[in-house]
Amino acid sequence: MLQTPFYDPEKSYEENLAEGPFGYFGEAGVTPQKGEPTYEFFGHKMYSPFGIPAGPLINGKFVQAALDKGFDIVIYKTVRTRKYPCHPWPNVLSVDVTGDLTLEKASGKLVANHAFHEPISITNSFGVPSPDPEFWKEDIANLIKAQRPGQVVIGGFQGTKMGDGDVEAYIEDYRVAARMLMEAGVKVFEVNFSCPNEGTANLLCFDIARSETIAKAIKEVIGELPLIVKVAYYQDSDALREFVKRVGSMVDGISAINTIAAEIIDEKGEQALPGEGRSRSGVCGYSIKWAGVDMVKRLKALREELGLTYTIVGVGGVTTPEDFFEYRAAGADVVMSATGAMWNPHLAEDIKHVL
């Protein structure tokens, strides 16, 4: 049964920032941890290898609520070096998908509405907004200071393209963002290579040469501190192998997947998300689990084949404890849930009952 989501889709992004989180996440109280933290995560001892990826934890209040409710590895929503606006409301809609959202289905049109139901699949269209660095640096710094043993806050970030198309300035923007996160006290970083329109091949992770250049630039800034790269689903196995060969050898973790994009329409057949450039939007939730699990299996095989050591973070469609264990069996070192956790804020507790 779907519970009250901690991010309210019926409210704007700005309203959620000011008033959220909602439901169980909005209640006071800290879920007690059992035993001692034993799971390894980049030198940190964790209570569990489970958490929430970049996206729904839009400020420190949401992040702290996730930590309080037992999600042990959480990512502060992707930040930028400058304030960046959110797409207009609505930003989250329910999507009607029967079974898996295969790539063939995603090449067509999907109907979306406000009737959220099980099994939960949604489209989210925010445009990777970011508050002003003056705000998020202090917000993250306060979270890091209050961080409890057995849990970790990851700093998620990405670069912002300049209007003049200056590639060097774009790469430098990633360096600046990484430095800002370091100044806030972040010890683990995740860079978003899976956002549309950030690379010459639509997604930055598909632009392997530029991905390699940016990953190298970030590592020059953060040094030995761990860097995770977030990627999309690769249909082309040769391209994935080349990405892992060139980028996986210099980063510390690979997270997969983000979403699967499709054209989103309303029940009248019209564009469901208003505004230019929003006819297609990423779909997440139960219907993309197949893709996340498949990527984890392939990343594990490539790690063994190429003799690499990166940590694998499995994301996509985790809505039940069974999904968590399916990802772990596939080879995920860490598992994360965004959509599933939003509508079941007890998910971390449910998983720990059977860990």
Catalytic sites, residue numbers? 195
In this structure, what DSSP letter does residue 318 have? -
Q: 84-87 contacts: CB < 8 A, separation 24 or more?
A: 84/127, 84/128, 84/129, 84/130, 84/160, 85/127, 85/129, 86/12, 86/13, 86/14, 86/126, 86/127, 86/129, 87/125, 87/126, 87/127, 87/129, 87/273, 87/275, 87/278
Query: What is the pLDDT, as a whole number, of residue 196?
Result: 56
For the segment(s) 13-354, the CATH number from 3.40.50.300, 2.40.340.10, 2.40.30.10, 3.20.20.70 is 3.20.20.70
- Alpha-carbon distance of 56 to 47, in angstroms, equals 22
Query: What is the pLDDT, as a whole number, of residue 197?
Result: 40
Burial tier of 340 (Cβ tally within 10 Å: 0-12, 13-18, 19+): buried
pLDDT, tens digit, 9 for 90 and up, residues 230-248 = 999 999 999 999 999 999 9
In which residue ranges of the chain is pLDDT below 50?
Answer: 197-201
- Alpha-carbon distance of 136 to 167, in angstroms, equals 25
Any idea where the domains of the chain sit in the sequence? 13-354
* Pair 333, 49: CB distance under 8 Å: yes
Estimate to the nearest angstrom the gap between the alpha carbon of 6 and the chain centroid.
16
In this structure, what DSSP letter does residue 271 have? B
Query: What is the pLDDT, as a whole number, of residue 168?
Result: 95
Nearest CA among 77, 60, 54, 52 for reference residue 21: 60
